[in-house]
């Protein structure tokens, strides 16, 4: 039976084509001059350059983390190019109408609504292509509500006070090796500010596309939800199929002020490499949110891509009564390796966190959950509940769980559970005996396994996520 | 060479005092690996939560001269046993051995025995990546090797009564106990550790259990020493086909206790029950690292560890279950529950699953909390005072594991010890005694 | 002996009791009936002093003293006994240890000598037999692995051992078959005495066939909306609670 499942898994990566546009890509290599060049290309103010240089100098002193349960050839940081932009973007188009249609077609082809009149009109999109933001839809409509949604490059110019105040406030420049690298060379990404008491009138989303070869993407996203506001944000990612590994080292910072709520969803479909384990994205990402009093931060992620993933969307529950949530589905197949999970740092009183992590490993992949739940001495009455489940498909893969659980407060309650299971021959047989073909049966079982996470996704994405899993598992059964 | 753990002189004294070249070489090999291993810091995964500073400011010496003290150690009431008394790691006395049991000592090995010892030690389970197994090997001066012949059903338990003698001398006490249970033999092994010392002590024991096919062993490993004692050691076990190991571990405080328990399932159908409790108070620190290596199919493991952590104490639990690639049809379960009873106490737990086979049933669970409010209210509503209710409920939390013990005398020994441990005033424990 | 006046209480900011008044005199048996969610269990928990129930108004006097001045264990020692609807399981602590601790605490509070262990075991065994619980019950963990009926009989056993002044039976009939119900009812009837008050909280009239109340009260929306004698219970049985709702409206 398991060979059928493998057959089912050998599917094509559907987003693996290349957009044929002329790009301006700076030569490979990394030094202070490169950092200055990136800053100059973006015409950044002096303070921004200084911030980058400080990060770069720290990075030079740091070493790559070794603790994750992944094996990969160490990226050669001098062989990568740190900035690449479609040539047409150099002219700084003023609106979407001026953007090279070939670029917009890239997003259309990926199913992203780039025209405001389209069906998914409830979603505003920022499109990031290699190192630059191509354009952002619905800006005017959002502005009416006082919501700022633009690229981080624009924000540096137009909202310097907000950027200065919050950039690096959740993920400091020196936080870790890849965060420091990102802080030095970050190119584009999204900036969101929701004013006090405002409920963002539509879903916001950013769609990241790596196109150019031998480049890394270092996006930076900053979401600030002011007191009592509410926002739901989604991100999606794809890249062409290439034989070499490409590096994606992003930093996402969320700030939820008193009574604010941020819901951050990711459907990550970076190119995972081929069936021999060749190529694919190295996805080394730092995502963290800071929740003030009674604020809520909810991370939902569906991870199907990347050759190697190293990612722990986290919550610092600083304010009393704040809430952190992490819902995750991570699917690995072929030679993919994922080491992903979350950290819930409880500082405030009566803080609450929930972690639901579902790992599915198939073929020769390695899938690890790594998490930290920490109750600091001040976390009076705090609670955490964690459930980690692994589903194994085939006997060549690995499924691992590494939860770190720390408590310094006797009134805090932590509950952690983990289980493993497989798609059993019995389950498949039952389905088949009732007339359901094996492929459909696996997809049903996997979807059932992930149900608790999918229900947290915004509706449009839940459908997409279900399909994505189905595609990723396609050909596994016959 | 200066190492944070200052025991080089002890190592050299030993080396100059032997004509057994294999042993001397074996020790120096371990010493040089140890010396090359970076001293653990907070970034060393294995010692992330357990700082070793209490080991570093002392020049550790091996015990010299004859041991002082009562030599009584831990005694059980109404439980006929075969007692082997070890004081400061030296066998000082033993009861008559039952039929089918042989005991050999490294320190008294004949030329013929030396060859066997060499083979046995080299084939041993000690993990030479484990820091304190290396220390043990580098300082090895005594091995107690117990062999239980095939098909023997021991009526009386073997009790290895390890005593740290009185005296203020700063001692390092390395000792190794090997217990080989041959095919279809059945035995109970009780290991107790107690201390009469007034000065700093670092005891570094390793117990190795080899269970051949169909062998059954009930094992108690009770660390009862308190006071200025550091206990860093390991228990390693290998299970043959259909072997059954039923183990119970307990640690009361001391300055620092760290026990690495590793069980290798190497024969199909092997069964393991591994239970334990840890009860640090004051400023004590207890760390249990358990690792279940499922190397072959069709084995089962059930593991339950519980701890109560009070005052300014700290407990660390790391429970790893490793299912190797071919270990299909494994059943492995781990539960770790902790009661944290003070705002200055800390507990860090990390249950781990590492799974490379798909047709297995594995699960773990961990909790940290205080006493359940619902239970507490039930007691209060029946007029029982809060402190007494807390003592009774804490005791009950641990007693759930004691109730599963096969041997009533162990329960009777531990009951009052635990009851009094939880009660700051005797009166709160009166209904448990 | 119990005088509840205009009591209001909240659970998690939700008002459950809303101006409840009730007086129980020694020797009386009061039945409190009402639909689900009326606040029946809350009343017992508030009287027994459970955490999480906030009294926001009104007074309760027990034997002339302000009940709210007493901690939960002090109320138990003063003679208030709550028979729980869902008695909690406490593995690791034996029934014997638990019962002895409780009896000792309450005897001490009454100025009596603690019982010797031998006497206590004898007494406990005898009571076990009365409520039809097996002998090995005393050695087992508190309520551990008990059936619903065994748990309720254990509550009754405790009540017999502690000889409280005021018994509050919180839905003691729920989950009992007819035989178990009769055992429990007999136990309660045996405890009826001129100096003891009993409050029977129940959803169904069935229990009141066996424990005949002196008064029946209907609790709805957090207060007593109708009082009468045992015939009121029969009326409720016949017409259901919606009839009361209409009347209150």
pLDDT digits (tens, 9 = 90+) for B348-399: 999 999 999 989 999 999 999 999 999 999 999 999 999 999 999 999 999 9
DSSP B313: -
Residue of A407, A412, A428 to mutate, testing the B interface (most B Cβ within 10 Å of its Cβ): A407
| Neighbouring-strand partners of residue B282 | none
Among the residues of A125-220, which ranges form H helices? 139-144, 152-158, 160-166, 177-185
Q: At C134, give phi and psi (nearest 5°).
A: -65, 155
Per-residue DSSP letters for B344-378? Answer: T-EEEEEEEEEE--SS-EEEEEEEEE-S-HHHHHH
User: Closest to C73 (Cβ–Cβ): which among B375, B385, B432?
Assistant: B385
The residue-averaged pLDDT of A78-95 equals 80
User: Closest to B431 (Cβ–Cβ): which among C87, C88, C101?
Assistant: C101
| CB pair distance less than 8 Å for B383 and C109 | yes
- The chains in contact with chain C, meaning 3 or more Cβ pairs closer than 8 Å, are B
- The chains in contact with chain A, meaning 3 or more Cβ pairs closer than 8 Å, are B
| Neighbouring-strand partners of residue C217 | C32, C227
Radius of gyration over every alpha carbon of chain B, rounded to an integer in angstroms: 21
The residue-averaged pLDDT of A336-351 equals 96
pLDDT score, position B405: 95
pLDDT score, position A477: 42
| CB pair distance less than 8 Å for B355 and A400 | yes
pLDDT score, position A478: 31
Query: What SS3 class is residue A212?
Result: coil
Q: Do chains A and B touch (3 or more CB pairs under 8 A)?
A: yes
Q: In sequence order, what E strands does A162-257 have?
A: 190-194, 203-209, 220-225, 230-238, 245-248, 251-256
Please identify which residue in the block is written with the tokens 């722990």.
Answer: A312
Q: Do chains A and C touch (3 or more CB pairs under 8 A)?
A: no
Which pair of tokens denotes residue A175?
């936080």
**pLDDT category, A471, cuts 50, 70, 90?**
low
Task: Please name the residue of chain B whose CA is at the shortest distance from the CA of residue C82.
Answer: B381
Query: What SS3 class is residue A370?
Result: strand
- Are the C-beta atoms of A441 and A427 separated by less than 8 Å? yes
The Cβ of residue A459 has, within 10 Å, a number of other Cβ atoms equal to: 10
| CB pair distance less than 8 Å for A405 and B346 | no
Burial (Cβ within 10 Å: 0-12, 13-18, ≥19) of residue A101: exposed
Query: What SS3 class is residue B95?
Result: coil
Distance from CA of C225 to the nearest CA of B (A): 29
Could you give the angle at the alpha carbon of A66 between the alpha carbons of A64 and A70, nearest 5°?
Answer: 115
The Cβ of residue A425 has, within 10 Å, a number of other Cβ atoms equal to: 11
Closest by CA to A6, choosing from A431, A473, A450, A443, is: A473
**Secondary structure of A256-315 in HEC code, one letter for each residue:** ECCCCEEEEEEEECCCCCCCCCCCEEEEEEEEEEEECCCCEEEEEEEECCCCEEEECCEE
User: Closest to A408 (Cβ–Cβ): which among B341, B346, B366?
Assistant: B346
| CB pair distance less than 8 Å for C98 and B398 | no
The Cβ of residue B16 has, within 10 Å, a number of other Cβ atoms equal to: 8
What are the chain C neighbours of B400 within 8 Å (beta carbons)?
Answer: 91-92, 141
Task: Please name the residue of chain C whose CA is at the shortest distance from the CA of residue B396.
Answer: C92
Cα–Cα distance for residue pair B102/B108, rounded to 1 Å: 14
User: Closest to B381 (Cβ–Cβ): which among C76, C100, C101?
Assistant: C76
Closest by CA to B310, choosing from B286, B287, B343, B337, is: B343
Q: At B91, give phi and psi (nearest 5°).
A: -75, 115
User: Closest to B354 (Cβ–Cβ): which among A397, A400, A403?
Assistant: A400
Q: In sequence order, what E strands does A333-412 have?
A: 337-346, 352-362, 366-375, 383-393, 398-407
Distance from CA of B322 to the nearest CA of A (A): 9
User: Which stretches of chain B score pLDDT less than 50?
Assistant: 1
Secondary-structure percent of chain C, ordered helix, strand, coil, rounded to 5: 40, 30, 30
If you count them, how many residues does chain C have?
A: 249
- Are the C-beta atoms of B157 and B82 separated by less than 8 Å? yes
Which pair of tokens denotes residue A128?
């990031």
Q: Is the pLDDT of residue A103 over 80?
A: no
Contacting A with CB below 8 Å, chain B residues are 45, 49, 325, 328, 338, 340-343, 345-370
pLDDT score, position A474: 58
| CB pair distance less than 8 Å for C76 and B382 | yes
| CB pair distance less than 8 Å for B388 and C82 | no
Cα–Cα distance for residue pair A447/A465, rounded to 1 Å: 10
| Neighbouring-strand partners of residue A288 | A253, A314
Q: Taking the mean position of all CA atoms in its chain, how far away is CA A460?
A: 17
Query: What SS3 class is residue B222?
Result: strand
- Are the C-beta atoms of A126 and A149 separated by less than 8 Å? yes
User: Closest to A420 (Cβ–Cβ): which among B45, B345, B355?
Assistant: B355
**pLDDT category, A100, cuts 50, 70, 90?**
confident
| CB pair distance less than 8 Å for A410 and B342 | yes
Task: Please name the residue of chain B whose CA is at the shortest distance from the CA of residue C88.
Answer: B375
What are the chain C neighbours of B372 within 8 Å (beta carbons)?
Answer: 88
- Are the C-beta atoms of B203 and B170 separated by less than 8 Å? no
What angle in degrees, to the nearest 10, is found between the helix axes of C117-130 and C148-162? 130
pLDDT in tens, A300-343: 998 887 889 999 999 999 999 999 999 999 988 888 899 999 99
What are the chain A neighbours of B343 within 8 Å (beta carbons)?
Answer: 377, 408-410
Task: Please name the residue of chain B whose CA is at the shortest distance from the CA of residue A401.
Answer: B353
Task: Please name the residue of chain A whose CA is at the shortest distance from the CA of residue B363.
Answer: A419
pLDDT in tens, B21-31: 999 999 999 99
Per-residue DSSP letters for C75-111? Answer: HHHHTEEEE-SSPPPEEEEEHHHHHHHHHHHHHHHTT
- Are the C-beta atoms of A393 and A10 separated by less than 8 Å? no
- Are the C-beta atoms of B157 and B79 separated by less than 8 Å? yes
| CB pair distance less than 8 Å for B383 and C73 | yes
User: Closest to C77 (Cβ–Cβ): which among B377, B383, B386?
Assistant: B383
- Are the C-beta atoms of B274 and B244 separated by less than 8 Å? no
Please identify which residue in the block is written with the tokens 């705090």.
Answer: A382
- What pLDDT tens digit does each residue of chain C (249 aa) get? 999 999 999 998 899 999 999 999 999 999 999 888 888 899 999 999 998 899 999 999 999 999 999 999 999 999 999 999 999 998 888 898 899 999 999 999 999 988 898 999 999 999 999 888 888 888 889 998 888 888 999 999 999 999 999 999 999 888 888 888 888 899 999 999 999 999 999 988 888 989 999 999 999 889 999 899 988 888 888 887 777 766 665
- Are the C-beta atoms of C41 and C174 separated by less than 8 Å? no
User: Closest to B345 (Cβ–Cβ): which among A2, A398, A410?
Assistant: A410
User: Closest to A405 (Cβ–Cβ): which among B349, B353, B357?
Assistant: B349
What are the chain B neighbours of C106 within 8 Å (beta carbons)?
Answer: 382-383
| CB pair distance less than 8 Å for B378 and C88 | yes
Which pair of tokens denotes residue A102?
């070939």
**pLDDT category, A279, cuts 50, 70, 90?**
confident
- Are the C-beta atoms of B292 and B330 separated by less than 8 Å? no
> What residues contact A97, with CB distance under 8 A and at least 6 apart?
none
What are the chain A neighbours of B342 within 8 Å (beta carbons)?
Answer: 410
Cα–Cα distance for residue pair C196/C63, rounded to 1 Å: 12
Q: Is the pLDDT of residue A8 over 60?
A: no
pLDDT in tens, A163-217: 999 999 999 999 999 999 999 999 888 999 999 999 998 889 888 887 777 788 8
- Are the C-beta atoms of B281 and B296 separated by less than 8 Å? no
The Cβ of residue B409 has, within 10 Å, a number of other Cβ atoms equal to: 16
- Are the C-beta atoms of B335 and B365 separated by less than 8 Å? yes
Least confident of A23-27, A467-471, B18-22, B193-197: A467-471
User: Closest to B368 (Cβ–Cβ): which among A399, A414, A422?
Assistant: A414
Per-residue DSSP letters for C6-55? Answer: EEEEEETTEEEEEEEEEEE-TT-EEEEE--TTSSHHHHHHHHHT-TTEEE
> To the nearest whole percent, how much of chain A has pLDDT over 90?
49
- Are the C-beta atoms of A264 and A297 separated by less than 8 Å? yes
Distance from CA of B103 to the nearest CA of C (A): 39
The residue-averaged pLDDT of A93-104 equals 76
pLDDT in tens, A356-409: 999 999 888 999 999 999 999 999 999 999 999 999 988 889 999 999 999 999
Task: Please name the residue of chain A whose CA is at the shortest distance from the CA of residue B316.
Answer: A406
pLDDT score, position A432: 73
Q: Is the pLDDT of residue A67 over 80?
A: yes
Closest by CA to A261, choosing from A238, A237, A293, is: A293
Q: Which CA distances in Å does B351 have to A49, B297, B354?
A: 44, 22, 10
Q: Is the pLDDT of residue A122 over 80?
A: no
**pLDDT category, A456, cuts 50, 70, 90?**
confident
DSSP C136: G
> What residues contact A98, with CB distance under 8 A and at least 6 apart?
A91
Cα–Cα distance for residue pair C58/A351, rounded to 1 Å: 33
Averaged confidence pLDDT in chain A: 86
Which pair of tokens denotes residue C145?
């692995």
Interface of A with B in 354-373 (CB under 8 A): none
- Are the C-beta atoms of A312 and A341 separated by less than 8 Å? yes
> What residues contact A12, with CB distance under 8 A and at least 6 apart?
none
Distance from CA of B35 to the nearest CA of A (A): 23
pLDDT score, position A12: 66
| CB pair distance less than 8 Å for B378 and C158 | no
Radius of gyration over every alpha carbon of chain A, rounded to an integer in angstroms: 22
Task: Please name the residue of chain A whose CA is at the shortest distance from the CA of residue B348.
Answer: A406
Residue of B385, B389, B431, B433 to mutate, testing the C interface (most C Cβ within 10 Å of its Cβ): B431
Cα–Cα distance for residue pair C147/C153, rounded to 1 Å: 10
- Are the C-beta atoms of C42 and C248 separated by less than 8 Å? no
What are the chain B neighbours of C142 within 8 Å (beta carbons)?
Answer: 378, 396
> What residues contact B64, with CB distance under 8 A and at least 6 apart?
B169
**pLDDT category, A476, cuts 50, 70, 90?**
very low
């Amino acid at each position: 039976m398991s060979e059928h499942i493998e057959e089912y898994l050998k599917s094509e990566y559907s987003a693996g084509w290349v957009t044929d546009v002329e790009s301006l890509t700076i030569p490979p290599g990394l030094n202070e001059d490169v950092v200055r060049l990136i800053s100059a290309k973006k015409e950044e103010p002096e303070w921004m350059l200084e911030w980058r240089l400080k990060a770069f100098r720290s990075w030079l002193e740091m070493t790559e983390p070794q603790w994750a349960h992944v094996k990969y050839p160490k990226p050669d940081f001098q062989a990568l190019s740190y900035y690449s932009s479609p040539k047409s973007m150099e002219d700084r188009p003023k609106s979407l109408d001026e953007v090279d249609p070939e670029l917009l077609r890239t997003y259309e082809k990926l199913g992203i609504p780039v025209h405001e009149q389209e069906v998914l009109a409830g979603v505003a999109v920022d499109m990031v292509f290699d190192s630059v933001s191509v354009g952002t839809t619905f800006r005017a409509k959002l502005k009416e509500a006082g919501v700022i949604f633009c690229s981080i490059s624009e924000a540096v110019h137009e909202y310097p006070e907000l950027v200065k105040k919050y950039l690096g406030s959740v993920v400091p420049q020196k936080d870790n090796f890849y965060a420091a690298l990102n802080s030095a060379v970050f190119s584009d990404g999204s900036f969101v500010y929701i004013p006090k008491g405002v409920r963002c009138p539509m879903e916001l989303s950013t769609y990241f596309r790596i196109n150019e070869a031998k480049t890394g993407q270092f996006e930076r996203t900053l979401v600030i939800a002011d007191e009592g506001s509410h926002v739901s944000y989604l991100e999606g990612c794809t890249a062409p199929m290439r034989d070499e590994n490409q590096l994606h080292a992003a930093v996402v910072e969320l700030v939820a002020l008193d009574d604010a709520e941020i819901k951050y969803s990711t459907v990550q479909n970076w190119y995972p490499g081929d069936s021999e384990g060749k190529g694919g994205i190295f996805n080394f990402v730092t995502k963290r949110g800071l929740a003030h009093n009674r604020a809520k931060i909810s991370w939902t992620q569906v991870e199907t891509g990347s050759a190697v993933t190293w990612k722990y969307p986290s919550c610092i529950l600083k304010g009393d009564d704040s809430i952190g949530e992490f819902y995750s589905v991570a699917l690995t197949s072929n030679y993919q390796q994922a080491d992903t999970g979350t950290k819930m740092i409880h500082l405030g009183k009566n803080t609450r966190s929930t972690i639901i992590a579902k790992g599915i490993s198939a073929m020769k992949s390695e899938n690890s959950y790594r998490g930290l739940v920490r109750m600091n001495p001040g976390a009076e009455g705090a609670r955490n509940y964690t459930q980690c489940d692994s589903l194994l498909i085939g006997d060549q893969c690995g499924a691992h769980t590494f939860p770190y659980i720390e408590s310094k407060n006797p009134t805090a309650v932590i509950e952690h559970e983990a289980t493993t299971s497989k798609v059993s021959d019995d389950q498949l047989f039952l389905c088949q005996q009732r007339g359901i073909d094996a492929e459909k049966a696996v997809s049903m079982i996997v979807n059932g396994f992930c149900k608790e996470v999918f229900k947290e996704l915004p509706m449009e994405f839940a459908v997409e996520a279900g399909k994505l899993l189905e595609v990723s598992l396609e050909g596994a059964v016959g | 060479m200066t190492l944070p753990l200052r025991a080089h002189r002890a190592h050299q004294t030993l080396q100059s005092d032997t004509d057994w070249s294999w042993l001397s070489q074996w020790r120096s090999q371990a010493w040089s690996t140890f010396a090359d291993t970076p001293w653990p810091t907070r970034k060393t995964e294995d010692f992330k939560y357990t700082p070793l500073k209490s080991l570093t400011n002392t020049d550790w010496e091996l015990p010299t001269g004859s041991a002082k003290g009562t030599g009584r150690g831990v005694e059980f009431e109404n439980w006929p046993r075969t007692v082997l008394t070890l004081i400061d790691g030296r066998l000082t006395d033993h009861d008559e051995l039952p039929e089918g049991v042989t005991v050999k000592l490294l320190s008294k090995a004949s030329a013929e025995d030396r060859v066997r010892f060499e083979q046995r030690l080299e084939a041993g389970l000690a993990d030479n990546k484990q820091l304190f197994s290396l220390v043990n090997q580098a300082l090895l001066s005594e091995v107690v090797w117990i062999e239980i012949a095939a098909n023997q059903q021991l009526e009386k338990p073997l009790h290895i009564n390890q005593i740290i003698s009185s005296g203020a001398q700063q001692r390092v006490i390395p000792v190794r106990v090997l217990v080989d249970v041959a095919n279809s033999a059945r035995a109970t092994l009780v290991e107790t550790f107690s201390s009469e010392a007034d000065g700093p002590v670092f005891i570094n024991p390793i117990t190795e259990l080899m269970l051949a096919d169909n062998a059954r062993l009930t094992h108690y490993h009770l660390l009862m020493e308190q006071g200025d004692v550091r206990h860093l050691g390991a228990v390693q076990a290998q299970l043959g086909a259909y072997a059954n190991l039923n183990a119970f571990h307990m640690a009361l405080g001391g300055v620092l206790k760290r026990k690495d328990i590793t069980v290798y399932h190497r024969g199909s159908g092997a069964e393991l029950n591994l239970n334990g409790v840890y009860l640090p108070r004051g400023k004590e620190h207890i760390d249990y690292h358990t690792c279940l290596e499922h190397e072959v199919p069709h084995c089962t493991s059930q593991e339950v560890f519980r701890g109560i952590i009070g005052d300014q104490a700290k407990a660390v639990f790391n429970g790893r279950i490793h299912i190797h690639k071919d270990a299909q049809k494994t059943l492995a379960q781990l539960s770790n529950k902790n009661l944290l009873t003070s705002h200055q106490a800390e507990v860090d737990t990390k249950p781990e699953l590492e799974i490379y086979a798909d047709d297995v049933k594995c699960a773990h669970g961990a909790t940290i909390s205080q006493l359940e409010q619902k239970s507490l209210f039930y007691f209060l509503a029946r007029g029982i005072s809060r402190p007494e209710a807390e003592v009774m409920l804490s005791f009950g939390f641990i007693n759930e594991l004691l109730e599963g013990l096969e041997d009533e005398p162990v329960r009777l020994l531990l009951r009052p010890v635990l009851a009094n441990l939880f009660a700051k005033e005797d009166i709160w424990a009166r209904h448990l005694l | 002996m119990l005088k509840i006046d205009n009591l209001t209480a909240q659970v998690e900011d939700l008002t459950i009791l809303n101006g409840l008044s009730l007086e129980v005199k020694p020797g009386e048996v009061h039945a409190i009936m009402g639909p689900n969610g009326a606040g029946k269990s809350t009343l017992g928990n508030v009287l027994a002093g459970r955490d999480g129930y906030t009294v926001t108004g009104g007074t309760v006097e027990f034997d002339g003293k302000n009940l709210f001045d007493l901690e939960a264990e002090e109320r138990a020692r003063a003679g208030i006994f709550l028979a729980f609807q869902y008695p909690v399981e406490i593995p690791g602590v034996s029934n014997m240890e638990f019962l002895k601790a409780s009896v000792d605490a309450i005897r001490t509070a009454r100025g009596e000598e603690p019982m010797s262990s031998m006497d206590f075991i004898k007494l406990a065994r005898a009571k076990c037999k009365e409520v039809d619980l097996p002998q090995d019950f005393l050695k087992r963990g508190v309520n551990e692995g008990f059936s619903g009926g065994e748990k309720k009989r254990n509550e009754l056993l405790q009540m017999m051992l502690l000889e409280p002044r005021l018994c509050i039976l919180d839905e003691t009939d729920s989950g009992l078959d007819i035989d178990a119900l009769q055992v429990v009812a007999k136990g309660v009837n045996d405890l009826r005495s001129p100096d003891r008050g009993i409050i029977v909280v129940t959803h169904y009239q069935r229990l009141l066939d066996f424990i005949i109340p002196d008064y029946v009260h209907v609790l709805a929306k957090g207060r007593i909306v109708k009082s009468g004698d045992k015939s009121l219970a029969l009326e409720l049985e016949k017409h259901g609670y919606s009839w009361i709702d209409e009347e209150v409206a």
